[in-house]
Every structure is written in C-alpha cells, then in structure tokens.
Amino acid sequence: MDKAADTAGFAFENRYARLPERFYTRLDPTPVEKPGLVRVNAALAHDLGLDPAALASPDGIAILAGNRVPEGAAPLAQAYAGHQFGGWVPQLGDGRAILLGEVTDRAGRPRDIQLKGAGRTPYSRMGDGRAWIGPVIREYVVSEAMHALGVPTTRALAAVTTGEPVYREGAFPGAVLTRVAASHVRVGTFQYFAARGDTEALQTLTDFVIARHYPALAEAGTPALALLGAVTERQARLIARWMGVGFIHGVMNTDNMTLSGETIDYGPCAFMDAYHPDKVFSSIDQFGRYAYRNQPQIAVWNLAQLATCLLPLIDADQDKAIETATETINRFGDHYMDAWRDVFRAKLGLAEAREDDAELAQNLLSRMAEGRADFTLTFRRLSELGDDPEADDPVRALFADPALFDGWAARWRQRLAMEQSAPDARRAAMRAANPAFIPRNHRVEQAIEAAVAGDYAPFETLVEVLSAPFEEQPAHAAYQDPPAPGEEVRQTFCGT
C-alpha cells in the first residue's frame, strides 16, 4: 500500500510498534471501494495537532478509510486475550481494528490513532473485520457525549463510509471509525502473556504502561504492585462516573477494560431512561452479569484477573504476592465509595461532606426505582428546586406516585439547610453536575436509521446537542425528553 503524503499533520512516534513482535501483527488496513466522509471531529483534530480540512480532503478520507497509510505510521493489530461474560478466551486481539500509530497532542499527551472496521486481521476469528454504519454512529455519538459529560473515554476523530455492504442480519452500509485513545492496552493484553507463561513480556508490558500512563510509579519499590494499585483507583473513579450519569457499558469483559482508565468499546451500551438498578440493555447479556448495579463488582472481578497476571512481578513468593495483590484489590471498595459519594453529593447540591449523605442518595434512587422516575430528568429538575415544596411539581410528575418524592424531598431540604452555600450558587453547581442532555437510546437509534438511508442530519444534530450537555438549549429542548410510547429501546446490540 502506498504511503500518503503527510498533509494532515500526523507526527507519529509509534512506541507500541517498537515492542517485541509477539505483541502484535503488522499489517495494513484493507482498502475499500468508494470511501466517503461522514464527519471529521474538527475540535479533536486541532487538539491532536492535525488539520481538519486536510482530513476532510480526498487524501485525508483515503487515510481515514484505510486506503492509504499516512507517512510515518506503523500499522498493526494488537494481540490480547480475555474473559468474555466470565468465559476464558485465550486469543482475541484486534479482529477489525488497525492501530495506525501514536501521536502527541497539544497538551503533550501520547494518543493512539486507530481505524475500527479496517478489515480482517489474524485475530478476526472468522469475522469480516468490518463495521457497518450503525455501530460507528453509536460509538461516535456516545464516546463524544461521554467526553462532554466529563467521563474518561476514548474519542472519535472521524467516521467514513466504505461504499461496500456489510452483512449482519441483512446488508448495511459499511463504515470505519477513527478512534483516539490514551492507549489500547487492556487487562486482556496482560492475560494474553500470562496465559502463555511469558513473564518477560509481562515485564515489558508493565514497563510500557507505567512509562505511558503512570510515570511516577517507575521509582516505586514494587512497580507492578504500584501499577495494580493505581489502575484499581482509576477504575473505581471511572465506574463511579458511569453510575452518576446512568450509563451501562453492556460488555465489561476483561478485554474491554483499559489500563489507562478510559471507557472503551461502545457496543451494546446505553443510558437509562427510567431508573432501575437491575437495568440491562445488551442483547447478549442474558443473565444480567453487566447490569447497572453490577458494574462496580465486575470491575473488581476484572482487576482480580489483572492481579493474577502480575503476581510473578510482585513477589517471587507466590503466597506473599497473592496477599499483597489481594490487599490492593480490596481497596477498590473504599476508592469507589469515596468517588461515588463525591459524584452524588454534587448531584444533590451538597458541597460539604456529612456521614449520612450516601444514605440520602441511595434513598432517592430506591424511590426513583419504585416510582419509575427518569434518571437524568429527576436530577436535572432537582437542580432547579428551591426551598418551597409548592414548586416541586416538575420533579413530582416524574414519579408514578409523587408521594415517593415528597417523603424524600423533606429530608433533602433539611440537609440543604446545613450547607453554607447560597441557593443560586447551589443551583448553578447542580446544573454543572446534572446534564440536561444524554444520548437517549431512541435518539441514537433514530440517527442510525437515518444514516442507513444516507441521511446524516439527525446524527449531526445529535452530536451538536450532546457537545454541551449541561447547557440549556431551548431550540433542542425535545432532546431532553424520554422516549414516547413506542419509541423506547429495550435492547442494544453488538456490532460484530
């Protein structure tokens, strides 16, 4: 494949490509028939030091589709393994993604540039290595929404069509997503080498992750143990943020947990409308393993798999290694609850920490579940309430039995009376913690359906609205609304 002139401004470093070759397979993306631009994320391109106009040019589109490799890139598919729904798979890897290389953004941070849907690789496992427009639209919309919500996440640089059909339950337009990540190293990457008894590769991978994401840990007495602790804390904070916006990942497999602490792989993900802790959307999660309420426990389970991989690097005495690793993993609960309390205190307008705050938040959630109240609207409308219960109707109306809210609101106002902040300041802080707009499942599906028919206007509008989730947007007020009867999306699907 020809190298493309570097008109977009890629300045690759490619440190992952300098690791031993058993970490990946070098190969170019598979060219497509007729690439076409859907969208370039101009703001992200600028942050990466790239030229958005050049990316949107024919040469740029050829790069984004995989038809040309930019100068300086070192394309490869990464090897990894993983537990999928608890079942061990010894070899997974990038089955439809090609890592073009690594660039440094304007803030000095290394960022991976990956094409998702770029064709078959040695890890495709009978798959076609392609993506259709639906999952590409979903990942673009949801990952960029998560970024705007302040949740650590991979991001979408661009989406292009391929001019070729992709066959799933029918024929759909093919597409490629350009994904940007702090890195693509996963728990499953460590599992791949641990399962092979390759301690040398585990050490190399540990050194790489520490240098890339946690450089201060290089001087720790036991760097592998320090890494486990840092990843545990970062994942605890991440999951707390998910819980605070009503997000359900849907496939929390070990190959979908990054060492960087970013949300990755937006397959059958969803945001809740009506709140319930047992909510599941993923069509492949038949037993609710990855239900909303289970996400913290699953994170611990995944981290335990990482700990198992790191044991040889923690201590030569396996019993001591297990003991210290277990102690480290057990700190997840405290890290998570500290982060969860911070998230929900902010959502309730509580600037000062008090002992019963978690119980106050949990009590509201229980009443929301019983009253089938909308998660996002309940907290957003709560942000507008003052001291007068007579003005509570916008929130009360969200509950099947408004008395459920009334009983809680009295306690909430008693708690607010203990705060020092002025009411206007509190309301402003709550609006900054409680989004008005989330990627409502029915809106995402509408954008996908339109895109399949070649109409990208709903997608563009949705991306625009979700870029400012905490702001009032009168022209787009309808995007706050839950689905009308007949619009509710009960299941979401993986794109493979």
Q: Which amino acids are annotated catalytic?
A: 255
Give the H/E segment covering residue 201.
helix 199-213
Q: Are 303 and 332 in contact (CB under 8 A)?
A: yes
Say how many CA atoms lie within 13 Å of 494 toward its Cβ. Answer: 10
Q: What does the alpha-carbon distance between residue 161 and residue 164 come to, in Å, rounded to a whole number?
A: 8
3 state DSSP class of 97: strand
Q: What does the alpha-carbon distance between residue 345 and residue 351 come to, in Å, rounded to a whole number?
A: 7
How many helices (H) and strands (E) the chain has is answered by 17, 14
What's CA 464's distance to the chain center, in Å? 19
Q: What does the alpha-carbon distance between residue 248 and residue 146 come to, in Å, rounded to a whole number?
A: 12
Q: Locate 433 and state its tokens.
A: 């913690």
Q: Return all residues near 180 (Cβ < 8 A) that are at least 6 apart.
A: 44, 48, 111, 112, 113, 114, 154, 155, 156, 157
DSSP state of 216: G
Q: What does the alpha-carbon distance between residue 413 and residue 74 come to, in Å, rounded to a whole number?
A: 58
